[in-house]
Amino acid sequence: MFDKIIDASKGKQFVMFLDYDGTLSPIVDNPDRAFMCDSMRKTMRKLARCFPTAIVTGRCKDKVYNFVRLAELYYVGSHGMDIKGPTTTSKYNKDSKVEPILCQPASDFLPLIDEVYQQLVEKTKSTPGALVENNKFCLSVHFRCVDEKKWSELARQVKSVLKEYPKLRLIQGRKVLEICPTIKWDKGKALEFLLESLGEF
C-alpha cells in the first residue's frame, strides 16, 4: 500500500509514531533487558532527520530514553501521560534549540501510584516470576515468566489491591496487567497533543 500512502500524503507532513517493545526492541522475559540494537538506533536517527519521530509506549519515558539514547526524538511514556520533545537543534530552524514539549496530565497521581506500587510488590512476592514495574504515571505487573496455572491467582492479587483505589483502572496487555489513572487521557490524546504542538497539521 506504499504508493497509496504516498498519494494520500501529497501536501502533508509525515509524523512517525512507533511503539517500543516488540517494534524497536525484541520482546524479552526481563523488561529491563529490552535493548535496542545499533542498526535500529541508526535507522531511528535517519528517520528523525526526515520526519518528526516519536516513541509511544506504556513504559516509563526516562527508561525508554536510556534504552534509545537519541535526543532528537519525541518520547511519550506511561501510555501518553509523560511527553518530552527533542532537545537538539531544530531541523526546521537551524539557529534555535527546540524547547522540549512537556506534558504530564496525571502529575497529581504520583503519590498514589507510588503507594500502590509498594503494595503490589509486597502482594505479588508469593508468585514466582511476577514483576511489578513502576512506569512513573502507570504500573505494569508482568507475568510472562509466571507459570500459566498461576495467572488467575496473580490477577486476583492485583485486583484485591486495586479495590481500595477507585481512581486507578486495570488494563490487560500482552502478558502484562497495566494500572493507570482514570483520567480522560491515553495514547491517542497524547498523539493529538503532539500534532497540535508541532503546529503544522
Calculate mean pLDDT across residues 115-122.
97
pLDDT (average), residues 7-22: 90
For residue range 38-79, list pLDDT tens digits in order. 999 999 999 999 889 999 999 999 999 999 999 999 999 999
Question: What pLDDT does residue 1 have?
Answer: 85
Domain boundaries, the chain: 2-105+185-198, 108-181
Q: State the pTM of this model.
A: 0.84
pLDDT tier at 201 (50, 70, 90 boundaries)? very low
Strand partners, 76: 56, 83
Element (H, E) at 111: helix 110-123
CATH code, residues 2-105+185-198: 3.40.50.1000
pLDDT digits (tens, 9 = 90+) for 154-198: 999 999 999 999 999 999 988 999 999 999 999 999 999 999 988
Compute the mean pLDDT over every residue in the chain, rounded to the nearest whole number. 91
Residue 75 in contact with residue 64, Cβ under 8 Å?
A: yes
pLDDT of residue 190: 94
Percent of all residues in the chain with a pLDDT value above 70, rounded to a whole number: 93
Is the pLDDT at 91 greater than 90? The verdict is: no
Locate cell 535507522: which residue?
43
Q: How far apart are CA 49 and CA 16, in angstroms?
A: 11
CATH for 108-181 is 3.30.70.1020
* Cβ contact 168:175 at 8 Å: no
Sheet holding 176-181, edge to edge: 131-134, 139-142, 176-181, 168-173
